Chain A
Amino acid sequence: MKKRFAGLLAGLVTLALTQPALAEFGLNMRQGVTDISHKVYDLHMLITYVCIGLAVLVFGAMFYSILNHRKSKGHEAATFHESTTLEIVWTIIPFIILIAMAIPAAKTLIAMEDNSDSDLTIKVTGYQWKWRYEYMDGDAQGVSYFSILSTPREQIENAAAKGEHYLLEVDEPLVVPVNKKVRFLVTSNDVLHSWWVPDFAVKQDAVPGFINEAWAVVKEPGTYRGQCAELCGKDHGFMPINVVAMNDSDFVKWASEKKSAAAAAAGAADKEWSKAELLAKGEAVYGKTCAACHQPNGKGIPGVFPAIEGSPVATGPVDQHIAVVMNGRPGTAMQAFAGQLNDLDIAAVVTYQRNAFGNNVGDVVQPKQIKAKR
């Protein structure tokens, strides 16, 4: 019975690993779309086959013995209990197999760690619970934005049907050109995160105060999805990574659109905004930036995240409110948003917080006021 069970397991593993079609259903590692990811996949398959081969030998001997050397079959116990020759043999043979494994593994590792001669550098910063991408050079130099989970709350709470890319979709993906060596400088703003795109075989921890390097040359245009791979608190499961790889000409076009959008946003800060406009904008910013902790209804989580509803900050002097949003509260999960949000966003969200959730303070904060405080 045991043998059959182990046979079934081995069969399932072999089936899973030899049928590429099944890979799409998520049984095996993805081959990915970079040279490195292919090498890693080959290494994974090699070690898997070595393990399956050894398993067949070792389990074969065990189960042969279990079936035949049993008292119920009248088998008499032998008395041998040591053999130096055997001990040496089964020390040396595994050692040789390990060396045979170590050589290709070391080669791949050396190739992975070669961060030199990149065409493009992108800084990736982990935040609780979103990613920020900043283009350090190339056509999109200066472009910077946050990338946040776009799966609607209703789907997570089972109030709506889940979409195809449930928990693997973001508002703004990272965009990279194909066939260019893109270097990622990975760091964090708060706790540890890990930036993982399985199709690139890139997983790099984001450590606050330190910069780690990783790189990829993406061969095919497409959308590649990953998730944060280091526990980073409450919404660790809700900060996916999307990378869109596109042809060079499309990338240049995307970069110039991004730049003009940023210029327009900067101009918007000088304009006088109506209360209705600020409230509408503020609600959107609140949903993306504040609701993860302070909750969509503004009630927070008692003992962990304070409520906005009736809070002394949101109903108190407006300057203090702005200061908390811009500078954060050191030593708590409240981040400094001065570097994350533009003047309009901060003005809008402060206005929204002061007038929503029954706070009804009534005042309006203009982007100019924020600009003056920077």
Chain B
Amino acid sequence: MVDDHHHEEHPGGLMRWITTTNHKDIGTLYLWFALIMFFIGGIMALIIRAELFQPGLQFVEPQFFNSMTTLHALIMIFGAVMPAFTGLANWLLPMMVGAPDMALPRLNNWSFWLLPFAGVMLLATLFMPGGAPAGGWTMYPPLVLQTGAAFPFLIFSVHLLGISSVLGSINIIATIFNMRAPGMTLMKMPLFVWTMMITAYLLIATVPVLAGAVTMLLTDKYFHTSFFSAAGGGDPVMFQHIFWFFGHPEVYILILPAFGVVSQIIPTFARKPLFGYASMVYATASIAFLSFIVWAHHMFTTGMPLAGELFFMFSTMLIAVPTGVKVFNWTATMWKGSMTFETPMLFAIGFLVMFTIGGFSGLMLAIAPADFQYHDTYFVVAHFHYVLVTGSIYSLLAAAYFWLPKWTGNMYNEKLGKLHFWLSTIFVNLTFFPMHFTGLAGMPRRIPDYPMQFAEFNMMSSIGAFGFGLSQLLFVYIVLQTIRGGRKATAQVWEGAEGLEWTLPSPPPYHSFSTPPEVK
């Protein structure tokens, strides 16, 4: 305790951020990086929506359009959502389990600093001969092998992003298992800690599989192997199996931490403990397990045998059970609470409602015969944007408003926060709800131009997208305003807040808990 100040010595300026091993500094870096990537990926989405505003080709060439859909997905998934959750984990895990810092601080520094290089490498492909990758974020061969000079940069960028995720995951697991305060048993951990731990395991299990798959692409292109070429005895569909063995757990990597965030926020503002804590933990673990045996539901139209189609249809439908349990538990948490509706709660309820809409369309997609019609249409685009934008991104916005007073010591502007929520919610639904209809009516994904019957709904989606994109500038303004000052936050911040992080002052000391707190 006496030499607290000694520990707080660190270089100033730029060197502070480059050399930092502090979980809060690194968490901040992750969060800013994610926000920047969110806007870069967002600009790409707006280029897509501008081109689709009307039928016909107006602004971009089809090849560049395909690059935009490809990079938009890669940047949003690997650059925005995943780093944002790792950033949250960095900030919160030590404070939630009663630790001074993450277990492996130097590794922490490295896993962050891989990201900007990977991101720059990916974005640099826009300026390479042959253009940026345009084969879709799923990188299906043989099309992806037609990529020009950008191809190896795409692969190495995916490798670097993957290494960063695995290192981050190792750190998260090591922290949770080794740094908990005395008395904090596993079943006393906040649900966010649980979901981050399960997510970390999913990452460690699946990212190496992705790394293997993209390395096989690399050798197919440059070293004359034929993993995915029928002419040499390989199989293009095998790539899809390997990819989705990673890819399906990946979608839970993007949503499980969101479950954790919402499970922290709803009880706080309902002033009532989380309903069914144990069943929430078991449901999360069940979802994680099931995520490994459902991958081929992304591939019903690839010519799988009937037995395979039946198995993957049944296993996929099964995921609705634990997911339903979660939604019911959140609803039961709100039930007979004493609710108030500050911005974090609004975003959490927005998550709850719209993620459930995405869950319903997911259930529809699981029905294999119907999926033959839905597959690769805008119905799928609507589905995964409901779970990713109004699911993952909404939980991240909720988290930002929820913990920003703790992080900065200042309250954000509640009026502007609510305005941000309502603008986002109106526009995000205007963007993505009509996509259900265009998809059902038969509009394929990833096309730069479309038949006339889809014109009205596409125009609505484009207007919604620009509205949603511009509304996020308000978020940046609110965050900057809060960092600069504002009403001082108490340690507790929220009336109903419970957990170790709320026992620390706002802002918390540089090293969270230098003596472990006692957990009863």
Give the residues in chain B near A105, CB-CB below 8 Å. 313, 367-370
Nearest-neighbour CB distance to chain A for B123, whole angstroms, equals 18
Task: Determine if B317 and A58 form an interchain contact, defined as CB atoms under 8 angstroms apart.
Answer: no
Docked pose: A115 CA to B267 CA in angstroms = 54
A276 within 8 A of B: no
Asked whether A47 and B229 contact (CB < 8 A) given A71-B340, A109-B306, A165-B451, the answer is: no
Give the residues in chain B near A71, CB-CB below 8 Å. 271, 338-340
Task: Determine if B272 and A77 form an interchain contact, defined as CB atoms under 8 angstroms apart.
Answer: yes
Docked pose: A210 CA to B236 CA in angstroms = 9
Task: Determine if A58 and B447 form an interchain contact, defined as CB atoms under 8 angstroms apart.
Answer: no
Query: Nearest CB to that of B333 among chain A residues?
Result: A81
Task: Determine if A28 and B56 form an interchain contact, defined as CB atoms under 8 angstroms apart.
Answer: no
B303 within 8 A of A: yes
Give the residues in chain B near A162, CB-CB below 8 Å. 55-56, 452
B277 within 8 A of A: yes
Nearest-neighbour CB distance to chain A for B269, whole angstroms, equals 9
Nearest-neighbour CB distance to chain B for A52, whole angstroms, equals 8
Give the residues in chain A near B349, CB-CB below 8 Å. 2, 62, 66
Which among B368, B373, B437, B441 has the greatest number of chain A C-beta atoms within 10 A? Answer: B373
Q: A59-84: which residues lie under 8 A (CB-CB) from chain B?
A: 59, 61-62, 65-66, 69-72, 75-83
- Contact indicator per residue, chain B 222-246, by CB within 8 Å of chain A (1) or not (0): 0000000111000111000000000
Q: Which of A224-232, A242-250, A356-364 participates in binding chain B?
A: A224-232
B314 within 8 A of A: yes
Task: Determine if B360 and A28 form an interchain contact, defined as CB atoms under 8 angstroms apart.
Answer: no
Docked pose: A32 CA to B499 CA in angstroms = 56
Docked pose: A123 CA to B369 CA in angstroms = 23
Nearest-neighbour CB distance to chain B for A39, whole angstroms, equals 7
Give the residues in chain B near A25, CB-CB below 8 Å. 453
Give the residues in chain B near A58, CB-CB below 8 Å. 327-328, 331, 356
Which residue in A26, A55, A333 is a CB contact (below 8 Å) of B357?
A: A55
Query: Nearest CB to that of A158 among chain B residues?
Result: B56
Which residue in A112, A168, A213 is a CB contact (below 8 Å) of B303?
A: A213
Task: Determine if B364 and A77 form an interchain contact, defined as CB atoms under 8 angstroms apart.
Answer: no
Q: Which of A86-94, A133-141, A278-286 participates in binding chain B?
A: A86-94
Asked whether A157 and B367 contact (CB < 8 A) given A27-B437, A209-B230, the answer is: no
Query: Nearest CB to that of B335 among chain A residues?
Result: A65
Task: Determine if B303 and A192 form an interchain contact, defined as CB atoms under 8 angstroms apart.
Answer: no
Task: Determine if A108 and B369 form an interchain contact, defined as CB atoms under 8 angstroms apart.
Answer: yes
Task: Determine if A54 and B360 form an interchain contact, defined as CB atoms under 8 angstroms apart.
Answer: yes
B276 within 8 A of A: yes
Task: Determine if B130 and A303 form an interchain contact, defined as CB atoms under 8 angstroms apart.
Answer: yes
Give the residues in chain A near B131, CB-CB below 8 Å. 303-304
Asked whether A231 and B140 contact (CB < 8 A) given A65-B331, A98-B321, the answer is: yes
A44 within 8 A of B: yes
Which residue in B130, B309, B451 is a CB contact (below 8 Å) of A304?
A: B130
Docked pose: A6 CA to B146 CA in angstroms = 45
Task: Determine if B441 and A27 form an interchain contact, defined as CB atoms under 8 angstroms apart.
Answer: yes
Task: Determine if B337 and A69 form an interchain contact, defined as CB atoms under 8 angstroms apart.
Answer: yes
Asked whether A106 and B310 contact (CB < 8 A) given A94-B324, A167-B450, A237-B444, the answer is: yes
Task: Determine if A196 and B444 form an interchain contact, defined as CB atoms under 8 angstroms apart.
Answer: yes
Docked pose: A313 CA to B176 CA in angstroms = 65
Q: B138-167: which residues lie under 8 A (CB-CB) from chain A?
A: 140, 142-143, 146, 148
Asked whether A82 and B334 contact (CB < 8 A) given A208-B142, A229-B376, the answer is: no
Q: Which of B58-66, B90-98, B483-491 participates in binding chain A?
A: B58-66
Give the residues in chain B near A77, CB-CB below 8 Å. 270-272, 336-338
Task: Determine if A113 and B309 form an interchain contact, defined as CB atoms under 8 angstroms apart.
Answer: yes
Which residue in B55, B229, B317, B325 is a CB contact (below 8 Å) of A209?
A: B229
Query: Nearest CB to that of B319 among chain A residues?
Result: A98
Task: Determine if A157 and B56 form an interchain contact, defined as CB atoms under 8 angstroms apart.
Answer: yes
Task: Determine if A191 and B372 form an interchain contact, defined as CB atoms under 8 angstroms apart.
Answer: no
Give the residues in chain A near B453, CB-CB below 8 Å. 25-26
Query: Nearest CB to that of A195 among chain B residues?
Result: B301
B318 within 8 A of A: yes
Nearest-neighbour CB distance to chain A for B459, whole angstroms, equals 13
Q: B196-232: which residues lie under 8 A (CB-CB) from chain A?
A: 229-231
B16 within 8 A of A: no
Task: Determine if B352 and A212 form an interchain contact, defined as CB atoms under 8 angstroms apart.
Answer: no
The interface residues of chain A, by DSSP majority, are classed as: mixed
B363 within 8 A of A: yes
Task: Determine if A78 and B272 form an interchain contact, defined as CB atoms under 8 angstroms apart.
Answer: yes
Interface residues on B, range: 35 or more
- Contact indicator per residue, chain A 98-133, by CB within 8 Å of chain B (1) or not (0): 100110011011101100000000000000000000
A238 within 8 A of B: yes
Task: Determine if A110 and B143 form an interchain contact, defined as CB atoms under 8 angstroms apart.
Answer: no
Query: Nearest CB to that of B231 among chain A residues?
Result: A209
Nearest-neighbour CB distance to chain B for A312, whole angstroms, equals 19
Nearest-neighbour CB distance to chain A for B327, whole angstroms, equals 6
Docked pose: A26 CA to B441 CA in angstroms = 5
Task: Determine if B339 and A204 form an interchain contact, defined as CB atoms under 8 angstroms apart.
Answer: no
Asked whether A81 and B450 contact (CB < 8 A) given A109-B310, A237-B62, A303-B129, the answer is: no
A268 within 8 A of B: no
Task: Determine if B236 and A198 form an interchain contact, defined as CB atoms under 8 angstroms apart.
Answer: no
Task: Determine if A69 and B303 form an interchain contact, defined as CB atoms under 8 angstroms apart.
Answer: no
A40 within 8 A of B: yes
- Contact indicator per residue, chain B 83-94, by CB within 8 Å of chain A (1) or not (0): 000000000000
Query: Nearest CB to that of A167 among chain B residues?
Result: B451
Task: Determine if B450 and A237 form an interchain contact, defined as CB atoms under 8 angstroms apart.
Answer: yes
A48 within 8 A of B: yes
Give the residues in chain A near B440, CB-CB below 8 Å. 26-29
A30 within 8 A of B: yes
A43 within 8 A of B: yes
A233 within 8 A of B: yes
Nearest-neighbour CB distance to chain B for A170, whole angstroms, equals 13
Docked pose: A9 CA to B360 CA in angstroms = 14
Task: Determine if A235 and B452 form an interchain contact, defined as CB atoms under 8 angstroms apart.
Answer: no
Which residue in A54, A192, A229 is a CB contact (below 8 Å) of B142?
A: A192
Give the residues in chain B near A86, CB-CB below 8 Å. 276, 328, 332
Task: Determine if B273 and A81 form an interchain contact, defined as CB atoms under 8 angstroms apart.
Answer: yes
Docked pose: A205 CA to B437 CA in angstroms = 23
Task: Determine if B66 and A233 form an interchain contact, defined as CB atoms under 8 angstroms apart.
Answer: yes
Give the residues in chain A near B309, CB-CB below 8 Å. 109, 113
Give the residues in chain B near A229, CB-CB below 8 Å. 301, 375-377, 444-445
Nearest-neighbour CB distance to chain A for B306, whole angstroms, equals 5
A-B contact pairs, 9 of them (CB 8 A): A6-B353, A66-B349, A81-B274, A98-B321, A162-B55, A167-B55, A168-B451, A228-B444, A230-B140
Other A-B contacts than A65-B334, A231-B143, A304-B130, 10 sampled, CB-CB below 8 A, are: A62-B331, A62-B352, A71-B340, A75-B339, A106-B310, A190-B142, A205-B303, A232-B143, A233-B63, A234-B134
Q: Tell me the B residues contacting A by CB distance below 8 Å.
A: 55-58, 61-63, 66, 129-131, 134-136, 140, 142-143, 146, 148, 229-231, 235-237, 270-279, 301-303, 306, 309-310, 313-314, 317-318, 320-321, 324-325, 327-329, 331-341, 349, 352-353, 356-357, 360-361, 363-364, 367-370, 372-373, 375-377, 429, 433, 437-438, 440-442, 444-454, 457
The 8 A-B residue pairs with the shortest CB-CB distance in the complex, in nearest-first order: A209-B230, A26-B441, A237-B447, A212-B303, A77-B338, A303-B129, A78-B336, A51-B360
